[in-house]
């Protein structure tokens, strides 16, 4: 009897093995629309280069005030090379190592404090953020009351408001703030903005301000940076065609959060902000035929590739890149690092 049972069990196992061999394992098809442009902008690329080149030229450790850009993968990669991240200068225990200010910019008090300690510092502030700083200073010199459109507590907003004495800049976060704002003086008003805002939200706020205050001065060129605008436009292009969208970026990245919001508003009800492939919740994509993928301006391309490969493991993927703009902008490095960046056999000016 026992032998018969064993034979039946063996036959069952063999039958299951045969069925698995003759029944192919098929993956559901899915189409991925990949936004272009996406990922690193010129300001982020420059900031990361500054840390890399400083480590190469001066050796570790190099101190960085605040996250150089808002991306955990980037920060950890630089930390592994010898960068030490601090929130304030008084956390730096020595005075003889380079200090780098992040791409978001810093209040004027920070370089002043660095000079008092005779710290050697390199400013990785994005040139487009520096442009907004200069606008604020110029408006103040012309005795204008300044309104900054932005998000309270964001490092870029802290840095911009910190270019002037406390109280000189009023923060406008929402359309309702714009409706309720009351000038403190009889001076002419001027508005400036954070560089990583939603284009549509900012337009609404500006429209309200200009209707209420027709003579308000505005930037000669939009403060929202080209990369933010281009990435949002690309999301608007593909969102109506997608069952779901992924924005690769950090939860403290303003431009990444705005991309997710733009995707939702443009017609994709399921838009997710994730940092790594390990954060994908696959049930969210059950039954999806087309998904879109983009990346915030501080997210490296390797993270996009990681997510695409993860989808290939779960689906039969068809990949299509949707290009809505070409970007060829680059920014100069600080003069102290240009020699380190120059290829062998060339001068920094070449």
Place of tokens 């200009």: 210
Q: Which helix (H) or strand (E) holds 235?
A: helix 226-238
- Separation between Cα atoms, residue 103 and residue 297, nearest integer Å: 12
Nearest in space to 224 (alpha carbons), one of 257, 201, 247, 245: 201
- How big is the chain by its Cα radius of gyration, in Å? 26
Angle at the Cα of 129 from the Cα atoms of 292 and 148, rounded to 5 degrees: 95
Angle at the Cα of 262 from the Cα atoms of 258 and 267, rounded to 5 degrees: 155
- Separation between Cα atoms, residue 298 and residue 157, nearest integer Å: 17
Q: Are 38 and 234 in contact (CB under 8 A)?
A: yes
Query: Which active-site residues does the annotation give?
Result: 156
User: 3-class SS at 274?
Assistant: strand
User: 3-class SS at 107?
Assistant: coil
Q: CA end-to-end span of the chain, whole Å?
A: 89
């Amino acid at each position: 009897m026992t032998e018969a049972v064993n034979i039946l069990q063996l036959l069952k196992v063999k039958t299951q093995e045969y069925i698995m061999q003759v029944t192919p394992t098929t993956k559901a098809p899915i189409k991925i629309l990949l936004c272009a442009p996406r990922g690193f902008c010129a300001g982020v690329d420059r900031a990361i280069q500054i840390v890399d080149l400083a480590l190469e030229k001066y050796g570790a450790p190099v101190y960085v005030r605040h996250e150089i850009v808002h991306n955990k993968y980037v920060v950890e990669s630089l930390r592994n090379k010898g960068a030490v991240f601090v929130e304030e200068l008084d956390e730096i225990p020595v005075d003889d190592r380079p200090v780098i200010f992040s791409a978001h910019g810093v209040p004027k008090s920070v370089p002043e404090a660095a000079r008092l300690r005779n710290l050697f510092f390199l400013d990785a502030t994005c040139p487009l953020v520096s442009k907004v700083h200069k606008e604020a200073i110029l408006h103040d010199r012309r005795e204008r009351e300044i309104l900054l459109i932005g998000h309270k507590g964001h490092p870029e907003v802290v840095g911009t408001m910190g270019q002037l004495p406390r109280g000189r800049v009023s923060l406008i976060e929402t359309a309702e703030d714009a409706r309720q704002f009351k000038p403190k003086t009889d001076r002419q008003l001027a508005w400036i903005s954070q560089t990583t805002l939603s284009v549509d939200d900012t337009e609404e706020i500006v429209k309200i301000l200009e209707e209420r205050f027709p003579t308000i001065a505005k930037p000669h060129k939009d403060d929202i940076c080209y990369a933010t605008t281009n990435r949002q436009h690309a999301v608007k292009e593909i969102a109506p065609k997608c069952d779901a969208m992924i924005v690769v970026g950090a939860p403290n990245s303003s431009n990444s959060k705005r991309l997710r919001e733009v995707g939702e508003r443009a017609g994709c009800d399921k838009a997710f902000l994730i940092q790594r492939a390990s954060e994908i919740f696959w049930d969210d994509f059950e039954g999806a035929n087309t998904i879109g993928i983009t990346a915030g301006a501080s997210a490296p391309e390797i993270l996009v590739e990681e997510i695409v490969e993860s989808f290939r493991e779960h689906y039969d993927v068809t990949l299509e890149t949707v290009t809505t703009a070409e970007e060829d902008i680059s920014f100069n490095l600080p003069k102290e690092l240009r020699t380190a960046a120059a290829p062998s056999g060339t001068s920094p000016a070449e």
